[in-house]
Structure 1
Amino acid sequence: MSSSPAIIVTGAAGNLGAAVVRELAKGSTPLVLMERSAEKLEALVASLPSGLEVLPIAGTDMTSQEACEAAVAEAVERFGAVGGLANTVGGFAMAPVAKALSQWDAMLTGNARTALAISAAVLPAMQAARQGRIVHVAALAGQKASAGMAAYAASKAALLRLTEAIAEEYRKDGITANCVLPGVIDTPQNRAAMPKADTSSWVAPEAIARLIAFLLSPEGGVVTGGAIPATGVPAVST
């Protein structure tokens, strides 16, 4: 059993999730890696330092609080306590308002329900440990929607309100809750989808991962209920 509480990372093998895992792996905190794909999870774990304590959990239904509770229970059994959650699970889709209803349930489920399910599952363990750090990945669109983003933006706005509610309800338990708000993340998929875009202000997953790692750290306890933009600035030529 580890001497320090574990951190759970959901969507652990995604572009941002893997960057968060690699950033956290620079320390000695035990990691619980939740990922839908067992194959991708296995490859990620194989790439991590050999001495790191890691519990891989594949295939959890992130829309089910009961399934999330089972994963948290497995983490507590292995490491004794859970002190952090980095939730990077989510989806993206665009459609005009007239067609947004076709995406509504999928976006609310994939971005907001999953966040609520894993939060509700992990909070009792954090209460038991008398400490906790929760970081959700929302999006800048959660503060202001752009054209074609009605369903997506609404789902990310719900995530902001969820984060604020957690922060207020669990402050007395030493638990913080924050979300980060990326704009466009510099991933191979986004570059392929937008080949003519100006990428100078796109933010690398590794940079966002460093922000998330800070919010998960003891020093990050100074911030709770925050919605922190992670949108970068254009590169300045010299």
Structure 2
Amino acid sequence: MTDFQGQVAIITGAASGLGLAIAKKLLNEGAKVGLLDYNETALKNEFDHFPDQSESIVLDITRQDLVESAIEQILKRFGRIDILVNCAGITGITNTHSHLVSSENLHKVFELNFMASFYTSKAVLPSMLANNYGRILHIASIAGKEGNAGMLAYSASKAAVIGMTKVQGKEYAENGITVNALAPAVIQTPLVAAMPEAQVKYMTDKIPMKRCGTLEEAANLATYIVSKENSFTTGFTFDLSGGRATY
């Protein structure tokens, strides 16, 4: 794989988990990176030693006006945007049957998992169109393909992300812009660590490899998806499920 010298990436949810792993990999391969997260302390601790390559922005990514301002700030600093990776997300309340799901929690999960990804992609696409090049990666989930019992809000929001990926992939296929999704099964992240043990066991038992994926495995695949080498795949949801999904 070639390096990312001269490219500018934006990573949401950059302060922890998969976003952190992808951001560090892209920085180490030479990219300049806009780092979006609500956790100011974590951003500072993780990225202060990349002062020339990074622009950290603390925001509530569910607010479209703040997203647009953040994208403008990154464009002003680095002059272009080549890559967007939407990692920010929450599971919401889990291990709950649908008739017990609260509307408030459902809206909260959709705002972060789906609407924020819409806001960021909407904001970066004009710059990508102007350069006739771009790579967008939405982090979805195997739950968006198959549905996880007890996780209505999360599963439905990630299914919406997959649907958006298909639409955007088709819309910009002739503009040098690829839009893909990544559907992990259980990856060992703080998000998963905070879930009820019974919910994690339910998901892990469905994986033929009988283990969680690693952040390194996820970051390696994500980095390929947003590379120049991945030039003839768009609107596609890549599997990262240890054999759970084979379609």
Task: Tell me the TM-score normalized by structure 1.
Answer: 0.89
What does residue 58 of structure 1 align with? 58
Residue in structure 1 matched with residue 171 of structure 2 by the alignment: 169
| 1:18 matches 2:28 | no
Match of 1:211 in 2: 221
Amino acid at match of 2:77: R
Instruction: Quote the residue 1:143 is aligned against.
Output: 145
Which residue of the other structure, out of 23, 27, 30, is the alignment partner of 2:29? 27
* RMSD (Å) for aligned C-alpha atoms: 2.2
How much does 1:47 deviate? 5.2
For each residue in 1:172-209, what CA deviation from the matched residue of structure 2 results, as whole angstroms up to 9, or x when unmatched? 21111011011111135635643994694210111101
Correspondence for 1:83: 82
The answer (yes or no) to whether the contact 1:11–1:88 under 8 Å persists in 2 is: yes
Determine helix, strand or coil for the equivalent of 1:110.
helix
Given candidates 214, 230, 238, the residue that maps to 1:220 is: 230
Deviates more, 1:74-83 or 1:189-198: 189-198
Say if 1:34 and 1:172 are closer, same or farther in 2 by CA, change over 3 A.
same
Supply the distance in 2 between the matched residues of 1:122 and 1:64 (Cα, whole angstroms): 15
CA distance in 2, matches of 1:188, 1:108: 20
Q: With the length of structure 2 as denominator, give the TM-score of the two structures.
A: 0.85
C-alpha separation between the residues in 2 aligned to 1:150 and 1:54?
Answer: 36
- The count of corresponding residues between Structure 1 and Structure 2 is 229
Q: Structure 1: which 4+ aligned runs deviate by more than 6 Å?
A: none
Aligned to 2:100: 99
Stretches of structure 2 lacking an aligned partner (at least 5 in a row): none
1:64-122 C-alpha deviation (Å, 9 max, x unpaired):
33221211111111111000001101110322110124332112112111111111111
Structure 2 partner of 1:156 = 158
Instruction: Provide the rounded CA distance (Å) in 2 between the counterparts of 1:69 and 1:187.
Output: 28
The residue number in structure 1 matching 2:115 is 113
Q: Is 1:5 aligned to 2:7, yes or no? A: yes
Give the counterpart letter for 2:217 in structure 1.
A
Partner residue, 1:190: 192
